[in-house]
């Protein structure tokens, strides 16, 4: 009985590990307004990344970085079916002025819209910006033609991430 219970407790993490492999092999193709894809690597740049989880670094992750003002939102157009990851942060970034909180997606809203949260254990660590803001990572299979306008905070947009399995 103990062995069966141990196997059942371990099974969800095995299933998600397999899912992460499928996610890496089937990335979506997206276009993001005022953001461009760049390799997700550790960088000393003030807008760069201090820590990157193993799953992201081992699968050639690409993250979309702002090239102009995003006003705190990621406007995403899906141009090919596949998996899309998002890095979100809800740390305090300013008061409510500008009514930005009306557009904000909470973790529960992401989940209600079919996004799955990936844990630090599943990812092999945390994604942390150089401003020391840890990110929450979500994943969803998206379809060509979808248009998403997502916001988590006042200034930082959600950062779309695509995994590209290394050959």
State the average pLDDT for the chain. 84
d(C-alpha 153, C-alpha 72), whole Å: 6
- Measured CA to CA, the distance from residue 115 to residue 80 in angstroms comes to 18
The DSSP element (H or E) to which 96 belongs, if any, is: none
Whether pLDDT at 120 is above 90:
yes
Q: Check whether 5 has a pLDDT greater than 50.
A: no
Please tell me the distance from the alpha carbon of residue 87 to that of residue 139, in angstroms, as a whole number.
Answer: 9
Please state the rounded mean pLDDT for residues 104-111. 84
**Taking a C-beta distance cutoff of 8 angstroms, is the pair 85, 160 a contact?**
yes
151 pLDDT more than 60 = yes
- pTM metric for this prediction: 0.84
Q: How far is CA 131 from CA 3, 5, 51, 93, in A?
A: 44, 42, 11, 12
Q: How far apart are CA 79 and CA 63, in angstroms?
A: 16
Please state, in angstroms and rounded to a whole number, the distance separating the CA atoms of residues 164 and 7.
Answer: 30
Could you tell me if 122 and 128 are in contact, meaning their C-beta atoms sit under 8 angstroms apart? no
95, 122, 153, 164 from 132: Cα distances, Å: 20, 21, 15, 26
Say which residue the tokens 């809203």 belong to. 109
Distances (CA, A) of 95 to 9, 51, 129, 132, 151: 42, 28, 21, 20, 15
So what's the pLDDT on residue 16?
A: 55
């Amino acid at each position: 009985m103990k062995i069966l219970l141990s196997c059942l407790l371990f099974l969800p993490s095995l299933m998600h590990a397999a899912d992460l492999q499928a996610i890496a092999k089937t990335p979506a193709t997206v276009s993001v307004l005022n953001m461009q894809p760049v390799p997700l690597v550790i960088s000393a740049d003030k807008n760069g990344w201090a820590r990157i989880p193993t799953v992201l670094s081992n699968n050639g992750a690409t993250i979309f970085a702002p090239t102009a003002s995003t006003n705190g939102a990621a406007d995403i157009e899906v141009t090919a079916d596949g998996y899309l990851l998002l890095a979100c942060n809800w740390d305090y970034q300013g008061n409510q002025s500008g009514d930005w909180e009306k557009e904000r997606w909470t973790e529960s809203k992401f989940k209600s819209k079919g996004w799955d949260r990936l844990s630090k254990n599943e990812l092999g660590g945390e994604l942390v910006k150089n401003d020391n803001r840890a990110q929450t990572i979500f994943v969803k299979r998206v379809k060509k033609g979808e248009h998403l306008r997502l916001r988590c905070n006042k200034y930082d947009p959600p950062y779309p991430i695509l995994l590209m399995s290394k050959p």
